[in-house]
Structure 1
C-alpha cells in the first residue's frame, strides 16, 4: 500500500501525471472546469493516495498561483480532466482573477519591502561604526554567539585590529564590532 500524498506540490504533480491534458507543471496553465474537484473525486474513487481535504487545499494552491490566474482570460474555454473544452470564461471571472492577481502581487511586494526593512534594521552599518571608533576604545566584538570585550589598536579600511585581555590580537570586520 502506498502512503498518502500530503504536500500540495506532490498532489499537483500526481494530478499532472494522472490528467496531463488538464494540469500542467510548466508553462501556461489551463483554466480548469468549475467543479473539477468533484470530477477528480469520481475518477479517483478507490484511491487511497488523496484525502478530500488535501486535494481541496492543493487545488486551491494551484488556482491562486500567478501562473494559473494569468490563464483566466475572457472568451477562453475551461478544460475538463481530459483537456476537453467546457464552459467559456466570462468577463466577470476574468476580472475576478485579475483582482486576485493584483492583490497577491501587492501582498508579495509588501512582504518584500518588510523583509528589506528588517534586513536594514538588523544590519549594523559598518561605516557609522568605523567613523565613531577611535584607537584605544574598548568595544565588544561578536565572535560566534559570544561577545568579547576588546581594545582597538588599529583601524584599517576593511578590518579593525583589536587586542583581547589576554594580549592576543585579532583582525575583525567592522560589522562584528558592537560599540555601546
Structure 2
C-alpha cells in the first residue's frame, strides 16, 4: 500500500525530493547544482498528486536547501543551472553569484563569531586567574545575555513570518536564526550554524 503519511519537517521533504529528482537535488558529499529559475513551480506541477507535502511545506524545504552552505558554494558565475531532470539551462548570472557569495560569507561570519565567543568564554572559565567568587559572578557571559535580551521582546505566533530573523532561547544564551516555516503549533528556525530546530513561539524573541 502506498505510504500516505504526511511529511512533518523540511529534512523529510528534502530527502524525498532528492530521491525523486536525483539529477537535480543532491545530498551528503555530492556537490550541489544551481537550480533553474522557477524550479519551485516545476516542483509543484510534478508533485501535484503527492498528498504528503503541501506547497507551503515545499517552499520552506526548498528555501532551506538553497540557503545551505553546500548549495551556496555551487552558485558561481557561468555555471549551468539544471531543471528537475538534470537538463542544463541558463548560466548563473554574475549578480546571482555575487549574492550567493555574500549570503555565504555573512552566514559563516555569524557562525564563526558565535564559536569565537564560546571559545573565549570557555577559556575564561578555565583561566587560573578566574578563581575568586566575585569575578565569577560578573563573568562576561552573563553581561552578554542581559544585552541581548534588552534589545528583544518575546515573540507571538501571529507576528512571525518566513525569513524573519529571531533569537532562539536555547540554554542561557539566545542563539540567532531565521524562521523558515511557521506551522500551527510550532515554528521551524534555521540557526546560523545551519542546524534546524522546531520550537514554540514563546521560545523566540524578536526585535
Q: What TM-score bracket applies, with the shorter chain setting the length?
A: 0.5 to 0.7
Deviates more, 1:1-10 or 1:61-70: 1-10
Counterpart of 2:19?
17
Counterpart of 1:114?
117
Q: Distance in 1 between matches of 2:38 and 2:96?
A: 15
Shift of 1:54: 1.5
Q: Distance in 2 between matches of 1:43 and 1:58?
A: 16
3-state DSSP class of the match of 1:70?
helix
Map 1:1-180 onto structure 2 (within 5 A): 1-26=3-28, 27-120=30-123, 123=125, 125=127, 129=131
CA distance 1:117–1:2, shift in 2 (3 Å): farther
CA distance 1:118–1:125, shift in 2 (3 Å): closer
Q: Deviations over 1:111-169 (max 9, x none)?
A: 21232244345x3656754xx8xxxxxxxxxxxxxxxxxxxxxxxxxxxxxxxxxxxxx
Q: Distance in 2 between matches of 1:118 and 1:4?
A: 43
3-state DSSP class of the match of 1:74?
coil
3-state DSSP class of the match of 2:27?
coil
3-state DSSP class of the match of 2:32?
coil
TM, length-normalised to structure 2: 0.57
Q: Deviations over 1:20-59 (max 9, x none)?
A: 1000002210100111111011001011111211111111
After TM superposition, what 4+ stretches of structure 1 lie above 6 angstroms from structure 2?
none
3-state DSSP class of the match of 2:81?
strand
Q: Distance in 2 between matches of 1:119 and 1:50?
A: 43
TM, length-normalised to structure 1: 0.65
CA distance 1:64–1:88, shift in 2 (3 Å): same
CA distance 1:115–1:18, shift in 2 (3 Å): same
Q: Distance in 2 between matches of 1:124 and 1:73?
A: 43
Q: What are structure 1's unaligned runs of at least 5 residues? A: 133-180
RMSD in angstroms over aligned alpha carbons?
A: 1.9
